[in-house]
Chain A
């Protein structure tokens, strides 16, 4: 069965510091992987996605993620966090059409 795990419920970083949000998945084949961001009371915005090819994926807002098959991971990174990055981040996978979401990681950015 497929599943997505985000081990960190809440992360706090200082503005300008680097960020890494963890995501591990379980899936029987090569998954399609996504990272979404959700601001309070808002819908989901796609940051980036991995379908195939280059395992380092660039997304919007300066985010990137690396697919590591050997570790079943798809961690999200940003070299320098901005205060506007404070939000909830969801990792998700799909094999067919259904999306399976992780439980989310809430990012707090302190000045």
Chain B
């Protein structure tokens, strides 16, 4: 149980275009989802926290207009990188907390974004 998927696993896009990454909880309802960014050989950096049906809470220094997060249902959150630039190239990982699951996040497999 407690499986989180991400789609796509890898994406290459041209500079200036937008990319959408999906995060789904497959076998549980996720009241809260998190989006992390990971640079090569570094730790995970929390970008934002999203709760179903409400606006995401962004961490300091994360541009909310650039990284659009939508948590429209209890099983789906999306991260859209708008007007992507090469410096947005990174590994993006989502996680989810289920209803009644205490303080434990389940992680997706990650999405490798490369902006050319």
**A interface residue count range (under 10 / 10 to 19 / 20 to 34 / 35 or more):** 20 to 34
Q: Does B104 contact A (CB under 8 A)?
A: yes
- Which residue from chain B places its CB closest to the CB of A42 in the assembled complex? B109
Q: Does B32 contact A (CB under 8 A)?
A: yes
Q: Contact at A90–B110, with CB atoms within 8 Å?
A: no
Least Cβ distance of B35 to chain A in Å?
12
Q: Contact at A51–B32, with CB atoms within 8 Å?
A: no
- Which residue from chain A places its CB closest to the CB of B102 in the assembled complex? A51
Least Cβ distance of B114 to chain A in Å?
12
Q: Does A63 contact B (CB under 8 A)?
A: no
Q: Does B60 contact A (CB under 8 A)?
A: no
Least Cβ distance of B49 to chain A in Å?
7
Binding site for B on A (CB under 8 A): 32, 34, 36, 41-46, 49, 51, 90, 94, 96-99, 101-104, 106
Contact of A43 among B49, B93, B104 (CB under 8 A): B93
Query: Which residues does chain B contribute within 8 Å of A43, judged by CB atoms?
Result: 6, 93, 107-110
Query: Interface residues of A: mostly helix, strand, loop or mixed?
Result: strand
Query: Which residues does chain A contribute within 8 Å of B7, judged by CB atoms?
Result: none
Query: Which residues does chain A contribute within 8 Å of B44, judged by CB atoms?
Result: 44, 90, 99, 101
Q: Contact at A104–B34, with CB atoms within 8 Å?
A: no
Q: Does B68 contact A (CB under 8 A)?
A: no
**B interface residue count range (under 10 / 10 to 19 / 20 to 34 / 35 or more):** 20 to 34
Q: Does B42 contact A (CB under 8 A)?
A: yes
A98 to B43, CA, bound (A): 15
Q: Contact at B107–A44, with CB atoms within 8 Å?
A: yes
Least Cβ distance of B26 to chain A in Å?
14
Contact of B49 among A42, A45, A98 (CB under 8 A): A98
Query: Which residues does chain A contribute within 8 Å of B34, judged by CB atoms?
Result: 98-99
A31 to B71, CA, bound (A): 28
- Which residue from chain A places its CB closest to the CB of B5 in the assembled complex? A43
Query: Which residues does chain B contribute within 8 Å of A104, judged by CB atoms?
Result: 42-43
- Which residue from chain A places its CB closest to the CB of B9 in the assembled complex? A41
A94 to B97, CA, bound (A): 12
Query: Which residues does chain B contribute within 8 Å of A51, judged by CB atoms?
Result: 102-103
